Amino acid sequence: METSEIQENPVISKIEEKDVTSAVAVAGHPLHAMTVHFPIALVFITLAIDVLYWWTGDQFWLRSGVWSSGGAFLMGVAAGLVGTVELLSVAGIRERVASWAHAIAAMMLIAIAGLNWGLRVTDSIDIVPHGLLVSTLAAVVTGMAGWHGGKLIFDHGIGLMVSPKD
């Protein structure tokens, strides 16, 4: 079929007309994109800390893991709150399936990060192997959530604040 003969899907065209500009931004920079780096980094740092504890047996890594897993959870909640405002308040974001796929993966990640911290703070888990397994799961789900988040920007142009100058 010739490109000119391909019919536009009316439902998709209607969604494409809707606004996708970030609602929570500082000087044109979306706050969600600025905050997500912290939970992503801290989830992977927690996994690295668990591997170092497994390798060395040094108690220092046990204490470090409590702090990094707590930081991952709390920063994940903070990023998630901003993301939720974007999701619910911007029509073009709310009506895209990809946004909800990202939100579901992100909420799973926040729940796993909370579990990881809770088990450590209450001292109710053996880091090797159980803490290490929870950290590995958190890292995998973070990869999924982050990848879907990136798709929102790069495939759907969500959150971009392009001025007439650009």
Q: Least separation, in Å, of the C-beta of 164 and ligand HEM? A: 21
Do 156 and 98 touch, CB atoms closer than 8 A? Answer: yes
Nearest-approach distance from CB 43 to ligand HEM, in angstroms: 8
| Min CB(52)–ligand HEM separation in Å | 23
Q: Say how many residues make up the chain.
A: 166
Residue number, 71 or 149, with CB nearest to ligand HEM = 149
Residue 159 exposed, middle or buried by CB count within 10 Å (0-12, 13-18, 19+) = buried
Note whether 37 and 112 are within 8 A (CB).
Answer: no
**CA dihedral over 18, 24, 29, 33, signed as positive or negative:** negative
- C-beta closer to ligand HEM: residue 22 or 116: 22
Q: Which residues of the chain form contacts with ligand HEM (CB under 6 A)?
A: 22, 30, 32-33, 36, 39-40, 76, 79-80, 83-84, 86-87, 93, 99, 102-103, 106-107, 109-110, 142, 145-146, 149-150, 152-153, 158-159
